[in-house]
Structure 1
Amino acid sequence: MIKPVIALSASFLFVFAAQAAPVTYQVEPSHTFVHFSYKHLGLSTQSQRFDKAQGTVTLDQEAKKGSIDMKVDTRSVSTGFPLFNEHIQGKDHFNTEQFPEATFVSKDIQFEGDKPVSAKGELTIKGITKPVTMTIESFLTMPKHPMMGKPALGADGKIEIKRSEFDMGANVPYVGDEVTIRIALEAIAP
């Protein structure tokens, strides 16, 4: 009688340990986009996006810990107008020839209950790294993605910066210095 109880206890501990382990999710590029918006001449809020993002999100929901490592291809900027894409890839703005990538790295995710609500990290644009906090506005995990058949997560995040702090202050104040970065992210576990 003791042996079955020990075996059952051992299998329970194994299952519990497997569930409590950190899970690393790969960013799903066809459903992950980084948008940015700013005021233009005080007339309107302009919004553009990057079409290519990659990275990982690692979460240990039991321990309430996690990390984010995202890269954005700044050459994939999409404004809706090819000439404007070229303009903001120039030296006064993203300077994509020298800096083809922007990154956000966080090893400090804050939780409220069982949900992440913010991530303190470092944002690097044009080779300049600044501390930022991403507010996580929505977050959801699912044990089985309906099409991929694997665990998945989704989140919407927001970061606010001043572009002049990243050597991108051309045309301030006519074009707003304050930029809101929004990340629509979906990621799949292996």
Structure 2
Amino acid sequence: MKFKLLFTLLATIGLATSAFAAPSTYSTDANHTFAQFEYNHLGFSKQTSRFNTVTGTVTIDQAAKKGSADIIIDTKSVDTGSTFFNGHIQSEDFLSTTQFPTATFQSNDMIFKGDKPVELKGTLTLKGVSKPVTLAITHFECKKHPMSGVDYCGANAETKVKRTEFNMGKYAPNVGDDVTIMIAIEAAKKE
């Protein structure tokens, strides 16, 4: 009888632990998720622009120290601060948004250091070209949202790419080939 009770107790603890350790999926918060990009403009300045519409999901398994991401960037939502320049960036010389209205980042390789992810290795597809990239995660936090009470995760990450590798080399090298991409993401846990 004692053996059966002990077995039942251990099985219950095991089920509770495995339920707690299950991967969690988070959906992006549209008001707090965006991507910025920065490049050197003719040596005069670093220009920074952003994409206002970024959607997707991130899955994190804290116990197994694994994770994945599936992010979609609406390239037509590019915001340079200038209506004229928005059209210029969306042209065939650069984003070619008529033909390629989205850019994507997909990853199944989240690298942890201790309890927190520090890198996300995946594939960036931009203007129909797919290349491997590594996003360095510079900030990461999961906790209850102080206003909604919902479980949230947030992060900042960045990578550098060469625009010539994505068929966007117009005016290079005068307009810098190196582009820094910075992503800010906040995401709510899916029920």
Shared topology, TM-score over 0.5? yes
Q: For 1:43-122, what aligned pairs fall within 5 Å after superposition?
A: 43-122=44-123
Provide structure 1 residue ranges, at least 5 long, that are not aligned to the other structure.
none
| C-alpha distance in 2 between matches for 1:102 and 1:148 | 30
Q: TM-score, normalised by structure 2?
A: 0.95
Which amino acid in structure 2 is aligned with residue 187 of structure 1?
A
Q: Residue 31 of structure 2: SS of its match in structure 1?
A: helix
| C-alpha distance in 1 between matches for 2:154 and 2:22 | 19
1:7, CA displacement in angstroms? 4.2
Which amino acid in structure 1 is aligned with residue 50 of structure 2?
R
Question: Counterpart of 1:179?
Answer: 179
1:5, CA displacement in angstroms? 4.2
Percent identity over the alignment is 51
| C-alpha distance in 2 between matches for 1:19 and 1:159 | 32
Q: For 1:157-168, what aligned pairs fall within 5 Å after superposition?
A: 157-168=157-168
Q: Residue 31 of structure 1: SS of its match in structure 2?
A: coil
Q: Residue 86 of structure 1: SS of its match in structure 2?
A: helix
Q: TM-score, normalised by structure 1?
A: 0.95
1:147, CA displacement in angstroms? 2.2
Q: Residue 175 of structure 1: SS of its match in structure 2?
A: coil
1:13, CA displacement in angstroms? 1.9
Provide structure 2 residue ranges, at least 5 long, that are not aligned to the other structure.
none
1:19, CA displacement in angstroms? 1.1
| C-alpha distance in 2 between matches for 1:49 and 1:4 | 59
Aligned length: 189
1:29, CA displacement in angstroms? 1.1
Question: Counterpart of 1:152?
Answer: 152
Question: Counterpart of 2:33?
Answer: 32
Deviates more, 1:1-10 or 1:45-54: 1-10
After superposition, the C-alpha distances for 1:54-99 in whole angstroms (9 at most, x for unaligned) are: 0000010110111010000000000111110011000000000000
C-alpha root-mean-square deviation of aligned residues, in Å? 1.2
In the alignment, does 2:164 pair up with 1:138?
no
